[in-house]
Amino acid sequence: MRLYLDSADLSNLLPLLETGVFYGVTTNPLVLRESRVPLSSLGNFAKAVLAQGAKEVYFQTWGEKPQELLERGRKLAHLDERVVVKLPATREGLSAAAGLHKEGIKICITAVYTPFQVLLASAVGAAYVAPYLGRINDSGRDGYAIVSKMAQALAHTKSSTEILAASIRSSADLVTLAQDGIRCITFPTRIAERLFAEPMTLEATQAFEQAAQEVAK
């Protein structure tokens, strides 16, 4: 299971990464803007999260033309070999992704909403494809069924492209996705914090500690 933190807020990210539970960090321009992280500091951001144990860090390229997306994606990839470059599932994004893949750069096709888009991601050699579960559900469709269909399509074509489910709105989403074999999921740090706060576990642990203190005397 690879759990990722979808955030650019180091004050929240670093303590969570220190637990060793989380595989990586994903960002996009919205997440960077929310935490006021300038593009000029992505190198230091990558250093900080990788030093704290992240094995991958995702940065999304930008631009209207494939060449812009490709050149900026190449620069992002060169920040560290553990950087994964995100590109939108548009004609331009997929075209730039095909070029970056040829250069040996790890890519993730993002902003995916429909099953056929995972086939396009697989066709350009994407390591990951990121369906936006929450936003698919927001649109009134059954996001779980759609992501499940995506997973089946990739599995049955023996694709090496992995689903990295995104736009997660609750810890329940993680289990529903895992039941369909989705093993890469990225979610906000507020959801990550809740994973360690199961009240009955905390209560039981407090009782263990109390008892241990007593028998340790």
Catalytic residues, by residue number, are 86
CB neighbour class for 19 (10 Å; exposed up to 12, middle 13-18, buried from 19): exposed
Angle at 130 between CA 128 and CA 135, to 5 degrees: 175
| Among 2, 74, 135, 149, interactor with ligand G3P by CB under 6 A | 135
Residue-by-residue DSSP string for 77-93: HTT-TTEEEEEESSHHH
Residue 5's Cα: distance from chain center in Å?
7
For residue 98, give Cα distances in angstroms to 74, 75, 150. Answer: 12, 16, 20
Which C-beta is closer to ligand G3P: that of 5 or that of 96?
5
Q: Is the dihedral of CA 51, 1, 39, 37 positive or negative?
A: negative
Q: Does 29 bind ligand G3P (CB under 6 A)?
A: no
How many CB atoms lie under 10 A from the CB of residue 14?
15
Q: Does 166 bind ligand G3P (CB under 6 A)?
A: yes
Tokens 């579960």 belong to which residue? 133
Q: Does 61 bind ligand G3P (CB under 6 A)?
A: no
Q: Does 6 bind ligand G3P (CB under 6 A)?
A: yes
Q: Does 134 bind ligand G3P (CB under 6 A)?
A: yes
Which C-beta is closer to ligand G3P: that of 76 or that of 202?
76
Q: Which residue is nearest to ligand G3P (CB)?
A: 167
What's the min distance (Å) between Cβ of 133 and ligand G3P? 8
Instruction: Give the total of residues touching ligand G3P (CB under 6 A).
Output: 10
Q: Does 63 bind ligand G3P (CB under 6 A)?
A: no
Q: Which residues bind to ligand G3P, rule: CB under 6 A? A: 6, 26, 28, 31, 132, 134-135, 166-167, 186
